[in-house]
Structure 1
């Protein structure tokens, strides 16, 4: 393999083309992986580039890279710079991949990335890979495969005419083949002329320009063309689509599911009244896609997985580059790629990189451990598992260890092989990995700083909470329901459902390796299963509950013959922590924990508690128009359970803080301001939970404070806690500009 690579690629000057093809493939696979992660709404993936709210497509980055690398290649064309040529060819390949990945967008001048028209981008990528691969193997198209060799030997007009006539005939065959709708046959036939003869001589595809021009008055040929299309072409197209979607994702499926009254995955529904109109369930395919996306998002990967994969990848890359550098150095001792680095200096540099990386890894472990200890003792134990799953921590540790392993392998090869020239590619990549590790270290320091900074941590938790609110309650509430606040109406079963005398339970008998906190429920899937089995299913725990061993998960009413408990269990996702990305209640609980820790006697920091209530108010204001204060209609006629109401969210966000606010005028004033702000913004049907807590706060103030001044201070609503004596109810005074005193 090494000899073939040297003779076919290196000796023939095709090494830059090899780097172009490899970088093209890697960039295409990466960008497709990235857009699939964005489409799946993976929380830790960076997402789209949207500076100032404007979405910048990656075709722009590809265009810039192609222009810069292409200009540079032309500028240094007269110089012998093999390393620079390989690097610029790699940049050109990356840019070309980014551009061709959005070829359909350029062709249609609109965003058809995930539409059916978007398949044109994958076809363009396949064509580019095929042509580049043929060039790399030394196969040239018409006109570049020695067609003019005969004319070079015999410079006569007859020979020139024959050569030009042969080229014209071959190009005509290619044009006819393409007009018959045989794109791949025509393109590959430019390299293998017999394919052009076959493609041009056979019937054209139905719908092609040739068929429209030549078969309009020939029904027999049209029928024969359609028969061949169904017999031969459609299986090939199906296989191509399978390969396309395996690499790039599914086309023609909307990214976002249209809002419905009950989302397929949410906390818990309250069953609908039989008289209420039933909104349709989401499309089964779309609901399945969303459920799988939710399950992938909630099932956190082990911390060790990404670092292990990175170390293995760079270990293999180091072994491959050792062989490539040896080939570049020349098997006979002649250096193909010259380097100004001394071999001793290179070995020293690699040793420094390896030592620095292993030291940095130890420092990172120490910093993370201290940050987690501080977070658990000073902030909240709920926050620590969330921060442990941060992608920046796994990437940092993985890159540090990978750089260490990579540098060790290259340095060991230098010491053992006794080569006289420096490994240029390996050393360059080691230096690049060092810079990447440095940037990751900066990002890790910023993330650890967020843990130590309670204000930034509160903002992060609030942002996660807003995301979960929008995901769980996509539609804004428009009108108040008419049923009572705590009622849960049991629906009548559909036609064919049996009486509820036959009842069974599904219990948690096998512990989940991911934890036992219920994180998500596939309600649409349970509804379909219950309808198929002719039963009614009641979900017993709620989202965020810890499910004990042998606890009841489902109560199934109806004929038990077709019930499959393992399928019901597959509709649940368990985990270790009720994180803010799961539901709004988890975000509220995490922020409340920070406020309670601040109000504890050991810390006694009411200012931090006021900051926490600022974000609690923001989340409740976001929830208010989206959550019904009472039971709401549901499309799930065979699934029963309970869900959190507006009163539940208000209780989660404020009751514990109210209990722990004894003796703190600042916290009581801020809490009163929170209730008053919500009461002014919410409709009347959402006022009872707020009024009840305002009354409880008044009674608490009357019990705790005896002096008229203290009672007056604690009874005032103040959005700053203690920003002024009269708080938000103070008199509005005229403002004055500051005047500099006269000298």
Structure 2
């Protein structure tokens, strides 16, 4: 059986292996449910605010303050916090629009930041507390001093959070911050899927390591309308394959588009219910960084290509994007990036899931080739591409060098038509 035969096989003879349930690898990431988490956060904030708004005015002992003064404080703070937050969030929409127009429409760093909906939840809680406390005070002559003090404390925290959100938004329109964030996220995913030092001399999976589709005992096809694969929920899929003593070979990668009838996976030897396989394929409207090593390359390339367009004509920005791309390529070259598949094992070491991943040629194609095709018209960018290729070649193992050398030869040929003083990388 495939699952049993690969239980103790070394990494060199097959796809790199990861055991589900160990460490904090991306395989443990389940479906991102941002909308659900945001809704729960808002509900919790409102619930806590209602409870505090009812309980604090009911305190009988301790220091007291005139009720009309407490109501005035609550009204001012509630309206003030709401007004400031409304203004800041209005500016946030302009920030998102500006970033999409100048960087990439696929760039969602600020829009997907959990701080956005957490700040909104806290501000909503402040407003609900103020309204609830005013209603709870009613016709009382005095009320506990804890009521206005709690409102002041909440307002102070809200203003601090709103300021932090403003700073995050301002950083999201700074080129250097965006490039650094994309590079860091790309490095994190590469560390999971192509860990440095892990089988650096590995080639493609050995013959027989990934069985052909015709040897499958069952195949699973996509049902429904077209959808983008955001990630795979691998933990329950491995458990389902273990229960059926099977191995599931996924036929689509993260970032692929699935159409009705497309092959999703093949089940070998054992049995896995089709519903379990389809449930493990997480689809959504846009790509995420959770299990996608290519997304950072795609976004950096987008930024470089937009900068090189005739409408913008900003080659220096493209050069900065290439700086980040070189960092990612150097990092990827240190790991088993030549592998086109990755094996996920259960706790006993038996391979249960094999999924396709981007290889070295794919990263070069997405991150470099489109910029390289436009670079001959931009001497600064062409010289930077040559420096990138030379730099990555200096750290790349032998089996990755041919793709780099092919591109470097083409770049050198383009540079020969330039005067000697235009062949160096100048910022």
TM range, smaller chain: 0.7 to 0.9
For the residue of structure 2 that corresponds to 1:412, the secondary structure is: helix
CA distance in structure 2 between the aligned counterparts of 1:608 and 1:291, rounded to whole angstroms = 31
Aligned to 1:184: none
Cα deviation, residue 627, structure 1:
2.7
Aligned to 2:175: 454
Aligned to 2:189: 468
Q: Is the 8 A contact 1:458 1:612 kept in 2?
A: yes
CA distance in structure 2 between the aligned counterparts of 1:537 and 1:378, rounded to whole angstroms = 42
Query: Map of 1:244-393 to 2, 5 A cutoff?
Result: 286=21, 293-295=28-30, 298-302=32-36, 303-323=38-58, 325=59, 328=60, 336-339=61-64, 341-384=65-108, 386-393=109-116
Q: Is the 8 A contact 2:221 2:262 kept in 1?
A: yes
Q: Is the 8 A contact 1:480 1:685 kept in 2?
A: yes
C-alpha distance 644-713 of structure 1, shift in aligned 2 (>3 A): farther
C-alpha distance 518-397 of structure 1, shift in aligned 2 (>3 A): closer
CA distance in structure 2 between the aligned counterparts of 1:665 and 1:456, rounded to whole angstroms = 26
How many residues matched?
415
Q: Is the 8 A contact 1:472 1:583 kept in 2?
A: no
Q: Is the 8 A contact 2:229 2:255 kept in 1?
A: yes
Cα deviation, residue 580, structure 1:
3.0
Q: Is the 8 A contact 1:462 1:615 kept in 2?
A: yes
Query: Map of 1:199-210 to 2, 5 A cutoff?
Result: none
Which of 518, 526, 538 in structure 1 is aligned with 2:230?
A: 518
Q: Is the 8 A contact 2:30 2:233 kept in 1?
A: no
For residues 507-540 of structure 1, the C-alpha deviation after alignment (integer angstroms, 9 at most, x for no partner) is 222579xx63231352x76566557646554321
Aligned to 1:670: 384
Cα deviation, residue 546, structure 1:
2.3
For residues 395-433 of structure 1, the C-alpha deviation after alignment (integer angstroms, 9 at most, x for no partner) is 11111121111112222333x32x222431121111111
CA distance in structure 2 between the aligned counterparts of 1:603 and 1:305, rounded to whole angstroms = 42
Is residue 626 of structure 1 aligned with residue 362 of structure 2? no
CA distance in structure 2 between the aligned counterparts of 1:637 and 1:280, rounded to whole angstroms = 11
Q: Is the 8 A contact 1:273 1:491 kept in 2?
A: no
Q: Is the 8 A contact 1:361 1:401 kept in 2?
A: no
CA distance in structure 2 between the aligned counterparts of 1:278 and 1:458, rounded to whole angstroms = 34
Which of 276, 289, 303 in structure 2 is aligned with 1:594?
A: 303
Cα deviation, residue 639, structure 1:
5.0
For residues 48-107 of structure 1, the C-alpha deviation after alignment (integer angstroms, 9 at most, x for no partner) is xxxxxxxxxxxxxxxxxxxxxxxxxxxxxxxxxxxxxxxxxxxxxxxxxxxxxxxxxxxx
Q: Is the 8 A contact 1:503 1:556 kept in 2?
A: yes
Aligned to 1:491: 209
CA distance in structure 1 between the aligned counterparts of 2:391 and 2:158, rounded to whole angstroms = 47
CA distance in structure 2 between the aligned counterparts of 1:439 and 1:680, rounded to whole angstroms = 47
Structure with greater strand share of residues: 2
CA distance in structure 2 between the aligned counterparts of 1:401 and 1:275, rounded to whole angstroms = 52
Aligned to 2:160: 439
C-alpha distance 668-638 of structure 1, shift in aligned 2 (>3 A): same
Is residue 715 of structure 1 aligned with residue 426 of structure 2? no
Mind listing any 5+ residue stretches in structure 1 that lack a counterpart? 1-269, 329-335, 494-498, 724-743
- TM-score normalised by the chain length of structure 2: 0.84
* Higher RCO (CA < 8 A, seq sep 6+): 2
Which of 583, 587, 593 in structure 1 is aligned with 2:292?
A: 583
Q: Is the 8 A contact 1:375 1:451 kept in 2?
A: yes
Aligned to 2:120: 397
Mind listing any 5+ residue stretches in structure 2 that lack a counterpart? 1-5
